[in-house]
Structure 1
Amino acid sequence: MIRRRLCLGAAAIALTVPLAGCVTVHGERALVPSLRPAEAAKVLADFAAQNNKATRAYDEQAITAAEAGPLGAIDQAGVRAKHANNPGGNKSYSPLKFSDAKFLIPEQRGWPKFFVAEAKTNRNGDARWLLVFRHGGARQPWKADFLGVATADELPDFAVDKAGHAEAVPLAGTDLAVQPGQLSAQYANYLDSGAGASGGSGKSGASGGSGSGSGKNGAAAAGVFADGPATSGLKDSRAKSAHTASTVTQYADQADVAGDFAPVALRTTDGGAVVFFGSRHQSRATFRADHPLTLDDDTKALTSGTPKTSITLYRVAQSMVRVPPKKAGAKVTFVSYLTGLVSAKGE
């Protein structure tokens, strides 16, 4: 859960232009870069320091100061569970380090503003991290809302202009195969729509889910995503584990685009975009009263109630996907899919 993280940010900047006196460029009105590269480097360095502090001490407040959105939800729960089981912290923790950092900084008007830091770490081998930092105003701190992990072969080719600025893509009204603001709902509908690549039928969602997997929404969502571990592979895995000799598991999936879960999109050189979005997922396992249920320590720490005949697991996922431009047969492909348990309920 917390093996990957970093964050905290510098305050946003008031840009000044030295003409005949100083003229303030207002970030709420003018189209300006979200920050300067040197400031982005400081945000990333502060994030590493704050994340290391939080992970070493299992300090949930330190994570909250550095992260928000899906990344924050996952890491806050992870730190909370680790602290419950290890109140003295992690004395053997190896600090997270970044190297070869690059920054994708779009020009934006108004708030919130965001940028993406892409860097190598001393985790995940040669894979690179892509962290989305966002803040809601000039006096608000930068926080990391999303994390994606990509190998060199998977790394998207982002479009930049002559000045080196990345291009932010709006959440609606674009020329993309799927509007960025609709991806969370489309993904929840897709997972709720039934069969994976291997066939099968029926809906796996439990009560309390989005309930939108059947009918037109489910059929449309099924044609949106390319096969892969986070799509057809996940649905096939669910189908295989839904019924065992001792348990029945139901699934429900929900979109979340509110507040700091709002998606972020950047243009790629092929005319498509990379989109970061979050989603919420439940699994409810019902088992025989005499069935021995084994939970790991972290899950126990996040569980309320007593699992006598069932346990519901609540997870948050953060996804980084490539969305192609509109054309026949074009599908969304997952580059990174990271999920974590945020709570559980026993009954």
Structure 2
Amino acid sequence: MNRRSLCLAAAATALAVPLAGCVTVHGERADIASVRPAEAAEVLANFAKVNNAATKAYDESLIAEVESGALGAIDEAGVRAKHANHPEGNASFTPLAFSDSRFLVPRQRGWPKFFVADTATNRGGDSRWLLVFRRFTAGDPWKASFLAVMAPDALPALATDKDGLVEALPAAGTDLLVQPGRLSTAYTSYLQQAPAAPAFADGPATSELLAGRDKNRRTANSVTQYADQPADGGDFTPVALRTRSGGALVLFASRHQTRATYREGYQLSIDQDTKALMTGTPRTSVTLSRMSQQAATVPARSAGPDAKTAVLSRLAGLVSATGA
């Protein structure tokens, strides 16, 4: 960032205070907006530009320039698999385009900082994308670490201050039913059907997912085992925003593994993308490792004994495979 940009940033945070010269605002100490609206718009536009180039060329190194965390892990693996099968790239690729974008910007002190882009896309339907952008120091590039996709009316109303800034909640010490920093552990414990796991509302990412597992756990040709682990540190650290109801919208990640063992003589059928990510030779078993990213509403503890966490969006992608 040049000196002129720094001065503009300082002026934006200084509000009505007259400036004789450039004033430095220390993001590590001051309680300020995590990003200026104009910069947030530039970050989103750059994300689209680089992501489109990466997807058209199937170049995972470009993905790493603008993505990290759960989203980066999923997209890097997906592009790697596509490149293995189509090294020439994708000539028929339709570029991703954003429209009607708004930015959910929290007031934050210290690092890391984040903001959320809430935007429409040209990827079909009227669903909205929520992209969480984060950086750990002032010199780092903004990278998208989470993506949630949901209907426009599914996004809960967020609490804002007099300046229109949203409220970021810490990982621990909140008044929520589940602490944001523990939500990945709570969710994976629920999927493992641990006796003391917190309750989650029924839906595609919870009760229906478990029902599907029960159906496929044992078939005439295979036995499948499931393992779920939290992913909640570094680039995978969840982010939480206060809702007007007193709860929070939390975006978080998790890891999921399935190991399917097949009967002797069964002819395995494995798609090309899975083969591209596979190590080992799949003779009688296949282990698939997936990364998942979720957006959930977590009620306040005061919401009552029947209150449950609701998963609004779940996007999972294969990141590795092993044959044996």
TM-score, structure 1 normalization: 0.88
Q: Which residues of 2 match residues 163-312 of structure 1 at below 5 A?
A: 163-193=163-193, 218-221=194-197, 223-312=198-287
Take 1:272 and 1:13, find their aligned partners in 2: how far apart are those partners? 36
The equivalent residue for 1:201 is none
Residue identity in the other structure for 1:62: L
Cα separation, 2, equivalents of 1:162 and 1:278:
31
- Matched residues, percent identical? 60
| Structure 1 residue 13 displacement after superposition | 6.2
Q: Secondary structure at the match of 2:195?
A: helix
The residue number in structure 2 matching 1:333 is: 310
Question: Equivalent residue of 1:338, what SS?
Answer: strand
TM-score, normalising length: structure 2: 0.94
| Count of paired positions | 311
Q: 1:115 is matched with which residue? A: 115
User: How far apart, in 2, do the equivalents of 1:336 and 1:296 lie?
Assistant: 26
* Whole-Å separation in 2 of the counterparts to 1:66 and 1:254: 26
Q: In the alignment, what sits opposite 2:91?
A: 91
- More divergent stretch after superposition (14-23 vs 56-65): 14-23
Of 61-70 and 150-159, the range deviating more from structure 2? 150-159
Equivalent residue for 1:16?
A: 10
Shift of 1:20: 4.3
Please give the alpha-carbon distance, in whole angstroms, between the structure 1 residues aligned to 2:117 and 2:154: 16
Aligned to 2:15: none
Instruction: Say whether the 8 Å CA contact 1:77–1:302 is kept in structure 2.
Output: yes
Q: Any idea what SS the aligned residue of 1:22 has?
A: coil
Secondary structure at 1:23's aligned position in 2?
coil
Instruction: Trace 1:50-89 onto structure 2 (pairs within 5 A).
Output: 50-89=50-89
Asked whether the 8 Å contact 2:6–2:22 carries over to 1, the reply is no
Determine the C-alpha separation between the residues in 2 that align with 1:264 and 1:125.
26
Q: List gaps (5 residues or longer) in structure 1.
A: 1-11, 194-217
Q: CA deviation at 1:100?
A: 0.4
State how far apart, in whole Å, the 1-side matches of 2:168 and 2:313 are: 19
Letter in 2 for 1:330: A
Residue 21 of structure 1: how far off its partner (Å): 3.5
C-alpha distance in 1 between matches for 2:173 and 2:196: 19
Matched to 1:337, the amino acid is R
Q: Which runs of 4+ in 1 moved over 6 A?
A: none
SS at 2:187 equivalent: helix
Aligned AA for 1:272? Answer: G
- 1:324 matched residue in structure 2: 299
Task: Report the CA distance between 1:124 and its aligned residue.
Answer: 3.3
Q: Post-superposition shift, 1:23?
A: 2.3
- CA RMSD, aligned part only? 1.2
CA distance in 1, matches of 2:153, 2:166: 20
CA distances 1:151-204 after superposition (whole Å, capped 9, x unpaired): 0221221111110111101111111111111110011111111xxxxxxxxxxx
Task: Give the whole-Å Cα distance in 1 for the aligned partners of 2:286 and 2:254.
Answer: 20
Tell me what 2:25 maps to.
25
1-structure distance, mates of 2:23, 2:71: 37
Q: Is the 8 A contact 1:13 1:138 kept in 2?
A: no
Query: Equivalents in 2 of 1:328, 1:35: separation in Å?
Result: 38
**What is the CA-CA distance between 1:22 and the residue it aligns to?**
3.0
CA offset digits 1:61-93 (Å, max 9, x no partner): 000111000000000000000000000000000
Contact 1:13 1:35 in 2 (8 A): no
Q: Which runs of 5+ in 2 are unaligned?
A: 12-17
Q: Could you say which residue in structure 1 is the equivalent of 2:323? A: 346
